[in-house]
Amino acid sequence: METTTKTMNMIEAINDALSIMLDRDKDVVVMGEDVGYFGGVFRATAGLQKKHGKTRVFDTPITECGIIGVAVGMGAYGLRPVPEIQFADYIYPALDQLVSEAARLRYRSAGDFIAPMTVRSPFGGGIFGGQTHSQSPEAMFTHVSGMKTIIPSSPYDAKGLLIAAIEDNDPVLFFEPKRIYNGPFSGHYDRPVEPWSKHPESAVPEGYYRIELGKANVVRAGEALTILTYGTMVHVAKTVVADCGVDAEIIDLRTLVPLDLDTIEASVKKTGRCMIIHEATRTSGFGAELSAQVQERCFYHLEAPIARVTGFDTPYPHSLEWAYFPGPVRIATALENILKD
């Protein structure tokens, strides 16, 4: 039977995934600050409470530790909670519940209890949110055993990955790059945002589908080098590669944990060069882990040092946001350096 599609932006795709799972599974509940009556600060849960009821989609007090603690208990007793943390910057009060309780529950109880919860949170910069609304803390959670970390780059991926995350029996961090909620962008401050309606991955299948966790997506095939990236930076990388005329293979990791090492290894062994791009700060960022994995698996195939283009080791700036981003100038310079070695 032919699958019909509908043009969606990322917010609409996330909303659709949540509604489908609320319909399919009576144990799924959506919770968080302003997610019910108001529909979320970015409107990702708009209309869900009216459609599914106040016991399935409900507002919580302003307490991130409490939201996640309650979600852990719900999961242990058979529900599948999908709590929202309004901004990733606000997730730190919940670290103890996430790291000490959710991630360890299966191990600590020898499998008697699980925490099948999916924590949604908008993250990253691009909206001039300043230091407390723009952080990218993904590396903190990739370090934690027992927890999965997902970062989509398109409406198609957002819906399929979110459904898979909700069905997963382990706790999942689902970070949503808010800069591309309504359309991808190139990384050029003066270049207009491209609406999702003009992007091929805005054609989202209607109804239920899932994307397997731990499978990267090769968004552009190439021979000259491999670029590893995720989230917003996928679109920046594609633009810079096109502008520079470089035959790069761009891999959208999609899930950081579990990580698709097979796809990464095959690509780097083919191209002999590897560049890593992410928005988060450089020191101890996820790019450091990627670099170590590539070096361990592909050392004898590398023809140049692995390059990293990242955010700076500073608090996230407000007025200098576009200088902080790994943008066209820094990425183009790194491309030139790695290709001349």
CATH code assigned at 300: 3.40.50.920
Range of the domain at 258: 214-340
Q: Are residue 254 and residue 135 in the same domain, yes or no?
A: no
Q: What is the model's pLDDT at position 2?
A: 63
Q: What is the mean pLDDT of the chain?
A: 94
170 within a domain of the structure (yes/no) = yes
User: What is the average per-residue pLDDT within 328-333?
Assistant: 94
| 133 in active site | yes
Q: Is the pTM of this model over 0.85?
A: yes
Q: Give the number of domains in the chain.
A: 2
The answer, yes or no, to whether residue 99 has pLDDT greater than 70, is yes
What is each CA distance from 297 to 127, 195, 293, 304, 308, in whole angstroms? 38, 38, 6, 15, 17
The answer, yes or no, to whether residue 1 has pLDDT greater than 60, is no
User: What is the average per-residue pLDDT within 251-263?
Assistant: 98
pLDDT tens readout for residues 142-197: 999 999 999 999 999 999 999 999 999 999 999 999 999 999 888 777 777 788 98
Q: What is the model's pLDDT at position 3?
A: 81
Q: Where among 155, 180, 205 does a domain terminate?
A: 180
The answer, yes or no, to whether residue 341 has pLDDT greater than 80, is no
Q: Are residue 118 and residue 257 in the same domain, yes or no?
A: no
Active-site option among 52, 133, 143, 278? 133
Q: What is the model's pLDDT at position 73?
A: 97
Alpha-carbon distance of 6 to 4, in angstroms, equals 7
Contact 275, 240 (CB under 8 A): no
pLDDT tens readout for residues 59-90: 999 999 999 999 999 999 999 999 999 999 99
pLDDT tens readout for residues 8-32: 999 999 999 999 999 999 999 999 9
Structure-token pair, residue 124: 């990253």
Tell me the pLDDT band of 112, cut-offs 50, 70 and 90: very high
Tell me the pLDDT band of 126, cut-offs 50, 70 and 90: confident
299 within a domain of the structure (yes/no) = yes
Contact 263, 218 (CB under 8 A): yes
Q: What is the CATH number of the domain that holds 31?
A: 3.40.50.970
pLDDT tens readout for residues 265-310: 999 999 999 999 999 999 999 999 999 999 999 999 999 999 999 9
Q: Are residue 241 and residue 112 in the same domain, yes or no?
A: no
User: What is the average per-residue pLDDT within 223-246?
Assistant: 96
Q: Are residue 174 and residue 218 in the same domain, yes or no?
A: no
123 within a domain of the structure (yes/no) = yes
The answer, yes or no, to whether residue 216 has pLDDT greater than 70, is yes
User: To the nearest whole percent, how much of the chain has pLDDT over 70?
Assistant: 99
Q: Are residue 231 and residue 84 in the same domain, yes or no?
A: no
The answer, yes or no, to whether residue 128 has pLDDT greater than 80, is no
Sign, CA torsion 89/101/58/150:
positive
185 within a domain of the structure (yes/no) = no
Contact 252, 217 (CB under 8 A): yes
